[in-house]
Homo-oligomer: A and B are copies of this chain.
């Protein structure tokens, strides 16, 4: 008997991947439920057969309704359960459950995973199945494409690029204690985990390694599985430290990203991976673009002294064989130092910052990152418009100018007037020059604007993570602000308050070190970007001037 399934979300097949495009509400016949990797094979009403993501459909709708509800419930319970977890630690049930959770901007502390639907990566990150596939990038977006409305901002991914901060994320596990627990606990950092912060020239800074870690992402290769039914792309990543390449698929990058978010996102903004939905209708273009962006992401991670030095990141770059990888994976997934706990490993070798100063710094960074976010988006919007103008109307117009000169030349050629040829030849050359200019104009954005857009898109992603990181900080500030009250009410001791302030100071140093890291990278990146952009622009205008000068020389001197 045929198993029926209802489609829950629209899904567009990636060409050449044996996938099936389906629409919400459509009824499919499941032809093979056991293809694995999160896929089922199904047939639509028109008889087309192909693979559809398992979680995009509901098999036998009437019976699975209940389980969907269960999932939602478990999920929403998860957001509350962590405060229940803290009861045992501070021993004050009422205070935790009522006063604080009503008073603080608690909404900032739990991050509903809005972009979950259709993202297999996070669903499958628990199992160790090497063959899971999450390379199902649909091709949309990209700048300069005609599908984006004029004046609209460029979107890479679902608009808001928040990290999925690991706070309260896993209802079943209690890996992540919440911030009040952290603030009230006296921490002594020690061992390999210790993350020192020093006083640098520019203020508090991370400990930077002697040698600069970097890696090359290259050589994308197509592999296949499920008896050739599904294909995937494997990238070769070669770190400059070992010079030994390792292979990773997009889903492994995604796994690494998840680990970094879980572990560091309370302290460090972890930029999202390049989207699954990237530009390019053509597979090759898509792969090239993704690789370029994975390279950008990896280089940024390599440049970060804390991230690049972390065990999970080192594992990703340096594993020797599948066994080492699997063991390392399991270990990383069991890492207990995640969420706000990361602050307990941070050791600023600097005098304590007083809470007022902490708040002032916070305000400044908050303001800066928001303003820069706006400014970057403005630049992207303008760049996008300019891209469209260059490849659209401007190209067309220069072609028309070129054609008009050539047509005039053709007409002149028919005059039968004996002194015609110098002018007609020069006019034709002028026309051809303007046609060349049309192509230069249309091709230029790929040469310079592309890089400007890429860097700013990267920064847009990075800046999109700051609100989350900064919110953790802000919540801690608010809690410490209340400390006096709590002391007065005998809810906490004076000692507790000092511990809180000490811990807040550590958090502030973390933010300061991170902001200084951000600023130094930003100055480097934008300096490099602007120089590159202007160099290419100069070349562009000089080339045009040169071409026009050459054609000018063909006219007779009067």
* Interface range on chain A (Cβ under 8 Å from partner): 35 or more
The residue of chain B having its C-beta at the shortest distance from the C-beta of A524 within the complex is B558
Instruction: Report if A140 contacts B (CB, 8 A).
Output: no
The residue of chain B having its C-beta at the shortest distance from the C-beta of A393 within the complex is B389
Q: Is the CB of A389 within 8 A of B397?
A: yes
Mask, A147-176, CB within 8 Å of B = 1, is 000000000000000000000000000000
Within 8 A of B (CB), among A525-558: 526-528, 530-531, 534-535, 537-538, 541-542, 544-545, 548-549, 551-552, 555-556, 558
Mask, A353-392, CB within 8 Å of B = 1, is 0000000000010011001101110110011011001000
Q: Is the CB of B534 within 8 A of A419?
A: no
Given A423-B527, A541-B545: A404 and B417 interface contact (C-beta under 8 Å): no
Shortest CB–CB separation between residue A98 and chain B, in angstroms?
39
**Chain A interface, DSSP helix/strand/loop, else mixed:** helix
Q: Is the CB of B548 within 8 A of A537?
A: yes
Q: Is the CB of A394 within 8 A of B400?
A: no
Residues of B within 8 A of A419 (CB): 202, 519-520, 523
Residues of B within 8 A of A556 (CB): 527
Residues of B within 8 A of A379 (CB): 404-405, 408
Given A389-B393, A394-B389, A552-B538: A530 and B364 interface contact (C-beta under 8 Å): no
Residues of B within 8 A of A247 (CB): none
Residues of B within 8 A of A383 (CB): 401, 404
The residue of chain B having its C-beta at the shortest distance from the C-beta of A519 within the complex is B417
Other-chain contact of A545, B374, B376, B538 (Cβ < 8 Å)? B538
- Oligomer: number of copies: 2
Shortest CB–CB separation between residue A203 and chain B, in angstroms?
8
Q: Is the CB of A407 within 8 A of B375?
A: yes
Within 8 A of B (CB), among A8-32: none
Instruction: Report if A83 contacts B (CB, 8 A).
Output: no
Shortest CB–CB separation between residue A438 and chain B, in angstroms?
12
Residues of B within 8 A of A520 (CB): 417, 419
The residue of chain B having its C-beta at the shortest distance from the C-beta of A427 within the complex is B530
- The complex places the Cα of A479 from the Cα of B374 at a distance, in Å, of 79
Residues of B within 8 A of A400 (CB): 382, 385
- The complex places the Cα of A419 from the Cα of B555 at a distance, in Å, of 53
- The complex places the Cα of A376 from the Cα of B552 at a distance, in Å, of 20
Mask, A202-222, CB within 8 Å of B = 1, is 100000000000000000000
Residues of B within 8 A of A530 (CB): 423, 426-427, 430, 555
Residues of B within 8 A of A548 (CB): 534, 537-538, 541
Q: Is the CB of B558 within 8 A of A417?
A: no
- The complex places the Cα of A389 from the Cα of B390 at a distance, in Å, of 12
Instruction: Report if A516 contacts B (CB, 8 A).
Output: yes
Instruction: Report if A414 contacts B (CB, 8 A).
Output: yes
Within 8 A of B (CB), among A440-491: none
Instruction: Report if A201 contacts B (CB, 8 A).
Output: yes
Given A386-B401, A404-B379: A368 and B414 interface contact (C-beta under 8 Å): yes
Instruction: Report if A88 contacts B (CB, 8 A).
Output: no
Residues of B within 8 A of A368 (CB): 411, 414-415
Instruction: Report if A416 contacts B (CB, 8 A).
Output: yes
Instruction: Report if A420 contacts B (CB, 8 A).
Output: yes
Write 29 A-B pairs (CB below 8 A) sorted by A numbering: A202-B417, A364-B416, A367-B414, A371-B414, A374-B411, A378-B403, A379-B404, A382-B397, A382-B403, A382-B404, A385-B397, A385-B400, A386-B401, A389-B393, A408-B526, A412-B522, A423-B526, A426-B530, A430-B530, A430-B534, A527-B556, A534-B552, A535-B552, A538-B545, A538-B548, A538-B549, A541-B545, A541-B548, A545-B545
Which residues of A are at the interface with B, using a C-beta cutoff of 8 A? 201-202, 364, 367-368, 371-372, 374-376, 378-379, 382-383, 385-386, 389, 393-394, 397, 400-401, 403-405, 407-408, 410-412, 414-420, 422-423, 426-427, 430, 516, 519-520, 522-524, 526-528, 530-531, 534-535, 537-538, 541-542, 544-545, 548-549, 551-552, 555-556, 558
Sample of 14 further A-B pairs with CB below 8 A, known A368-B411, A382-B400, A383-B404: A201-B418, A202-B418, A378-B403, A412-B522, A417-B523, A420-B523, A423-B526, A426-B527, A528-B558, A531-B552, A531-B555, A534-B549, A538-B548, A541-B541
Ranked nearest first, the 5 interchain pairs of A and B with the lowest CB-CB distance are A541-B545, A534-B552, A417-B519, A379-B404, A371-B411
